[in-house]
């Protein structure tokens, strides 16, 4: 352990990472650099600076990464209409490659020998952080305290904090939270507590971002999204940055009871896990993006994207954002979005998201002259369908004749 002189720690300033900070100092006898990221978790990150200083940390990084997070990670993922196992919008998964990237960059800037994180040995996050780190810095040393120490409960963590005079809010830390929560601009997740029983319905007071659909307004809310190359660039005619788009959609969606989900998912490490999620803005964004694609994408391009999406989703969920295969898929996905331009009008009502209209002045592939049920003035020759059908039925007819023989 003596070869570790400096470690960059992903640090929130909470109980777990405060203890990890001290544990690293004592166990490895090393200098610790702290990195705290604001990715829209809704909590003040600046107090982490004072806590780190109180523990002797000299190099403290506190960064607002909200725009980078949405622009370079969330939006590229939504261009693929990404959903894991049919439901999960990957709110936790997509935040990890950004954190891993900054951990490695800070390690390079400060000459650190290792990075460290507070993910447990049971979850997916340890995989995501470390796969990302190794992809960006192959020889990096990773220290995962939860896989090394013997602190196995909140009680042992608090006892360690008191023994080592670690500056934590004992009143707050000692109050057992019923859930393990993770939040960023895309979502907030809930695990543990009563949710460990898949039969138990989530309690209403658990939800933080959304009203219940039953208590949502009795009148629908309409919102108009402008897309350019597959990304939302304006809401109701007002140009917005990626992060402000998602912030606004979260607010509008939450007020209409949109974005709640309750999932039993398959973790990469092998176990099933039950979690509840709130993703109001992402739920609106996904529906709207599919709507504008339905108007502007070639049929076979759209179908190919849908076929590849589950693989792309698994890559993100399992921590392979920085892999060559994800990058290859992203190149294809981004190329498909050149024509995904236009407006989508969404109707939000009591937990539901409807497409109320879509149009694209320059890229729409919808031809009303051909699609009309009225007189098309010869734009489409219906007699052509006969040969088309017979050619496609040829193999079926041959097989049917053989069965009769």
Q: Is 96 a catalytic residue?
A: yes
Q: Is 180 a catalytic residue?
A: yes
Q: Is 64 a catalytic residue?
A: no
**Exactly one of 66, 79, 96, 260 is catalytic; which is it?**
96
Q: Is 125 a catalytic residue?
A: yes
Contact of 250 with 281, CB cutoff 8 Å: yes
Contact of 329 with 311, CB cutoff 8 Å: yes
**Exactly one of 49, 71, 169, 180 is catalytic; which is it?**
180
Q: Which two tokens stand for residue 106?
A: 């800070």
Give the whole-angstrom CA distance, residue 57 versus residue 167.
13
**Exactly one of 125, 273, 326, 360 is catalytic; which is it?**
125
Catalytic residues: 16, 96, 125, 180
């Amino acid at each position: 352990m003596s070869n570790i002189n400096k470690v960059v720690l992903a640090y929130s300033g909470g109980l777990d990472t405060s203890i990890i900070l001290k544990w690293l100092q004592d166990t490895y006898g090393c200098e610790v650099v702290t990195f705290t990221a604001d990715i829209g978790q809704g909590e003040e990150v600046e107090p982490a600076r004072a806590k780190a200083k109180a523990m002797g940390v000299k190099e403290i990084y506190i960064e607002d990464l909200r725009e980078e997070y949405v622009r370079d990670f969330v939006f590229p993922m939504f261009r693929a209409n990404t959903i894991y196992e049919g439901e999960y919008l990957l709110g936790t998964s997509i935040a990890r490659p950004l954190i891993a990237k900054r951990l490695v960059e800070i390690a390079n800037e400060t000459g650190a020998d290792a990075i460290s994180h507070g993910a447990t040995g049971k979850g997916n996050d340890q995989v995501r952080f470390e796969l990302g780190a190794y992809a960006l810095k192959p020889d990096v040393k990773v220290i995962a305290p939860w896989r090394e120490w013997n602190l196995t409960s909140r009680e042992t963590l608090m006892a360690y904090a008191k023994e080592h005079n670690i500056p934590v809010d004992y009143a707050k830390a000692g109050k057992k939270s019923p859930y393990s929560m993770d939040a960023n601009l895309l979502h907030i997740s809930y695990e543990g507590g009563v949710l460990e029983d898949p039969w138990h319905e989530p309690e209403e007071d658990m939800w933080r971002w959304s009203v219940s659909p039953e208590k949502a307004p009795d009148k629908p809310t309409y919102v108009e999204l402008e897309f350019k190359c597959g990304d939302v660039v304006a809401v109701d005619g007002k140009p917005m940055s990626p992060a402000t788009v998602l912030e606004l959609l979260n607010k509008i969606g939450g007020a209409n009871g949109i974005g709640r989900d309750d999932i039993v998912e398959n973790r990469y490490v092998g176990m099933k896990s039950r979690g509840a999620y709130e993703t109001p803005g992402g739920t609106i964004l996904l529906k709207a993006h599919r709507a504008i694609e339905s108007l502007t994408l070639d049929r076979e391009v759209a179908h190919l994207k849908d076929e590849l999406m589950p693989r792309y989703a698994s890559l993100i969920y399992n921590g392979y954002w920085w892999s060559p295969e994800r990058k290859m898929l992203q190149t294809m996905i981004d190329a498909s979005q050149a024509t995904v331009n236009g407006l989508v009008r969404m109707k939000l009502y009591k937990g539901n998201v409807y497409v109320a209209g879509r149009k694209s002045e320059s890229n729409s592939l919808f031809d009303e002259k051909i699609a009309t049920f009225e007189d098309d003035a010869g734009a489409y020759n219906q007699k052509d369908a006969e040969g088309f059908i017979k050619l496609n039925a040829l193999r079926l007819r041959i097989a049917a004749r053989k069965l009769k023989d």
